Amino acid sequence: MQCGNDSTTESLAIAHYHNSSDASMSRSNNKQEALSPKNEKLAQAFEDLAAYEFQLRGLNTGAGASYSKITSGKQAMQYRGIGEKRTLLANVAPSTELPPPLTGQQVHCVRHVVLSRRLASGWTGVDTAVQNLRRVVERTVLYGENQSAMLVGSSGSGKRAVVAKALAQLPTRSFHAVYLSGSVLGNDMEAFREIVQQLVPQQGSIVGHAAISFFNMYDLLKQLLLQKALQEHAVIFILDAFDAFVMDAKQLLVYNLLDWMQSKDVRVALVGISCNFNVLAQFEKRVKSRFSNIQVVVPRPPLKHILQ
């Protein structure tokens, strides 16, 4: 009688256990179904992350990207895309060849594209600098007034892009832009030769001859500027890294350009680009007296614009 009661009690206990486990499973299922959309997305994100880590470990240990084979049903459907990507990466043999380095021209092109895209939308500070510089250059291109201006701003503020945008907004194409970089040119003689080569490319071999003296180069360049003015074409000199051109005590290049601009027979504009806000204080007296003292400041873009 007692054994029978014990067996009956054991049977009731087992039945109660199964019922309680089924009830708990049903409650867990109901709770899982009642998850909010935010929690479901979070759970899905954790599942995807776990699958990705599993695949990555399989690739690192040489087990192969066979995750899609060991999963089945709903999991295989969910992680099929990840398995295919990992399988593709596993089948590709690692390459030890490095890409060839970029040339100087390619780096210049990439830099120009990046800066132009960064200033495509524009913000108030850049737009103001572009408008101010464009007004200065328009006096030379449209009305024949020789003007000079200094574009200053900290490194990375987009000064060169401002110059390119200002020239692109000019209403006419009757001008020739001559770009000189003080960080590349070693002395004033090289700068004069570079100017002539950009104005008259077909005379590059003659200009590059070492026997040509400074005075011959001076006369040749002056004649070219007079000829351009007769054709109603303005010449815009863009002197990048302007500090390098005024480090010499004589400052011959800047002085000669500004001295030619005192004549009405030429159409010349001079735009200097510098990171030094006090660059005008380095001018020699005769250079400072011929400069227009127009300074265009390019402010640094705000943090919100940089993070976009």
Domain ranges of the chain: 2-91, 123-307
Spatial separation of the C-alpha atoms in residues 69 and 79, rounded to whole Å? 11
> Both tokens of residue 88?
């593709």
In the block, residue with structure tokens 């009405």? 264
* Res 294: pLDDT: 93
Burial of residue 91 (CB within 10 Å: 0-12, 13-18, 19+) is exposed
pLDDT value at residue 100: 76
Tell me what pLDDT residue 17 has: 45
Burial (0-12, 13-18, 19+ Cβ within 10 Å), 128: middle
> For 178, left (φ over 0), alpha (ψ -120 to 50), or beta?
beta
CATH for the stretch 123-307: 3.40.50.300
- Could you tell me the strand order of the sheet in which 175-181 lies? 175-181, 234-240, 268-274, 147-152, 294-297
Q: What is the predicted pLDDT for the residue at 184?
A: 86
Phi and psi angles of residue 244, each rounded to the nearest 5 degrees, phi first: -70, -25
pLDDT, block means (10 residues), the chain with 308 residues: 46 48 47 52 57 48 41 44 46 58 72 58 74 94 93 89 92 91 85 87 58 70 89 93 88 92 92 93 91 90 66
Spacing of C-alpha 104 from chain mean position: 16
